[in-house]
Amino acid sequence: MTNPKIRNMEDFAAISGLSRPTVSKYFHDPSSVRPSTRARIEAALEEYDYRPNIFAMNQNRKLTKNVGIVVPYLADPFFAEIVRVIERRCVDAGLSPFLFNSQGEPEYETAILDTLRSLKPAGVLFAPLGRQSDKSAIESFCRDVPTVLFDSNIEGLGEAFVGSDNRSFVSQTVEYLTRTGEPPCFFEMKTPANPNANKRRLAYIDMMDRLGFEPRIVAISGSGWAFEEIGKQGALKALQEGTLGTNTVLCSNDRLAIGFLSAAYEMGLKVGRGADCALRVASHDDHPFSRFTCPSLTTAAHDYGAVSDEVVATLFRLIESGGRLERRTETLFPARLIMRDSA
């Protein structure tokens, strides 16, 4: 079938009876050539499975079609899920997504930015580590490469930020919990890595104040990204020492809650709304596994679809307007309360 070996675009242009610049134009944008020409190229493409050399292509293009996606911790199903959606959208739009995982480490994050810089991406979707991030490295990166931040905002950096409205998460859970039972304490890590955690704590305090209740923070120790384990140990300790001060617990995020539920189960404490239950537990994020916990977790859900859509849409706007936006926008999506069995 593939009799004459196609070594490059020159060869391929020859066998399809066109000139190389025309073929080059086609690969840049198939609709930029006459339909009849396009048909000829695509017919040839069927027969000889030629693909332009990625490296040579990107070397001279002012703007590549590469898109960088950087997340702080890919083993967290929350990010895995968001990335899955974003990646697909990019491919559908003819872009080449390159996925990077900071693995919770600032040095790694900075190294990724360096790599990314030399990939000359048309745009980057970047969820920073947060508190631990090397701000100056990110700042310099954002100056050179069109970047959309998501999940964790860093004030003023990047061309735009897309994320969820932490206030909306907390106000809904706190409102629901106070309305249906005891006011909740707030269960979180002492030194959270993610800025969203801080926003949630502040929103909790504010919300409790507003409703006329005394805020009560249960800050557990532990660092890193093993949130479930940290939550479990923290919960065991808090439950044994009785430091919760209420029968209602609002966890900062679902992964901590998963640990909490595990601890409660081990201690024989039944969690839920029923009269026979010792505790109510609610949380935030709608982690992919939160519907399978025991009991299933009442939580405030990210609008995954809307966030992903907006992130990608912002990226496209950014690319189309040549890498810079008029002004930095911050888009926050509200949460949706999901009532399950845990509270």
Partner DNA sequence: CATTAAACTTTACGCGCGTAAAGAAACTTG
Partner DNA sequence: CAAGTTTCTTTACGCGCGTAAAGTTTAATG
Let me know: does 314 contact 294? Beta carbons within 8 Å. Answer: no
Residue in this structure with the two tokens 């004459």, named with its chain if needed: 4
120 versus 317: smaller Cβ distance to DNA: 120
x/- binding map, residues 277-316, to its own copies, per CB under 8 A? -----------xx-xxxxxx--------------------
User: Segment near its own copies (CB under 8 A), from 69-77, 149-157, 165-173, 212-220?
Assistant: 69-77
Per-position b or e across 181-203, b if 16+ CB within 10 A of its CB:
eebbbbbbbeebbbbbbebbbeb
Side chain identity at residue 97, one-letter code: P
User: Taking CB under 8 A as the rule, does residue 228 contact its own copies?
Assistant: yes
- With CB under 8 A as the contact rule, the residue among 12, 100, 176, 316 that binds its own copies is 100
User: Taking CB under 7 A as the rule, does residue 2 contact DNA?
Assistant: no
User: Taking CB under 7 A as the rule, does residue 66 contact DNA?
Assistant: no
Q: How many residues bind DNA (CB under 7 A)?
A: 27
Among 159, 155, 92, 93, smallest CA distance to 125 is for 159
- 64: which residues sit within 8 A by CB, 6+ positions away? 57, 58, 96, 119, 120, 121, 122
CA distances from 143 to 109, 140, 158, 159, 324 (A): 17, 5, 8, 9, 10
User: Segment near DNA (CB under 7 A), from 23-31, 109-117, 173-181, 245-253?
Assistant: 23-31
Helices 227-241/254-266 angle, 10° precision? 50
CA distances from 333 to 161, 290, 302 (A): 11, 20, 8
User: Taking CB under 8 A as the rule, does residue 20 contact its own copies?
Assistant: no
User: Taking CB under 8 A as the rule, does residue 47 contact its own copies?
Assistant: no
User: Taking CB under 8 A as the rule, does residue 24 contact its own copies?
Assistant: no
Contacts of DNA in 39-58 (CB under 7 A): 52-53, 56-57
| The entry of its own copies, DNA, none that residue 221 binds, CB within 5 to 8 Å by partner kind | none
User: Taking CB under 7 A as the rule, does residue 340 contact DNA?
Assistant: no
User: Taking CB under 7 A as the rule, does residue 33 contact DNA?
Assistant: yes
Strand boundaries in 52-176, DSSP class E? 66-71, 96-101, 123-126, 147-150, 160-164
- With CB under 8 A as the contact rule, the residue among 22, 103, 233, 329 that binds its own copies is 103
Give the C-alpha separation, 51 to 149, whole Å.
Answer: 32
User: Taking CB under 8 A as the rule, does residue 74 contact its own copies?
Assistant: yes
Pure H helices in 182-251: 195-211, 227-241
The three-point CA angle 223-171-242 to 5° equals 50
SS3 sequence of 130-160:
CCCCCHHHHHHHHHHCCEEEECCCCCCCCCE
30 versus 106: smaller Cβ distance to DNA: 30
User: Segment near its own copies (CB under 8 A), from 9-17, 73-81, 209-217, 316-324?
Assistant: 73-81
User: Taking CB under 7 A as the rule, does residue 88 contact DNA?
Assistant: no
User: Segment near its own copies (CB under 8 A), from 9-17, 86-94, 151-159, 240-248?
Assistant: 86-94
User: Taking CB under 8 A as the rule, does residue 114 contact its own copies?
Assistant: yes
Q: How many residues bind its own copies (CB under 8 A)?
A: 50
Give the C-alpha separation, 103 to 96, whole Å.
Answer: 22
User: Taking CB under 8 A as the rule, does residue 261 contact its own copies?
Assistant: yes
| The entry of DNA, its own copies, none that residue 243 binds, CB within 5 to 8 Å by partner kind | none
Strand boundaries in 216-326, DSSP class E? 217-220, 248-251, 280-285, 298-301
Give the C-alpha separation, 166 to 152, whole Å.
Answer: 11
Q: Which residues bind its own copies (CB under 8 A)?
A: 51-59, 74-75, 77, 80-81, 83-84, 87-88, 91, 96, 98-101, 103, 111, 114-115, 117-120, 228-229, 232, 258-259, 261-262, 265-266, 288-289, 291-296, 341
Q: Which residues bind DNA (CB under 7 A)?
A: 7-10, 17-22, 24-25, 27-28, 32-34, 36-37, 52-53, 56-57, 59-62
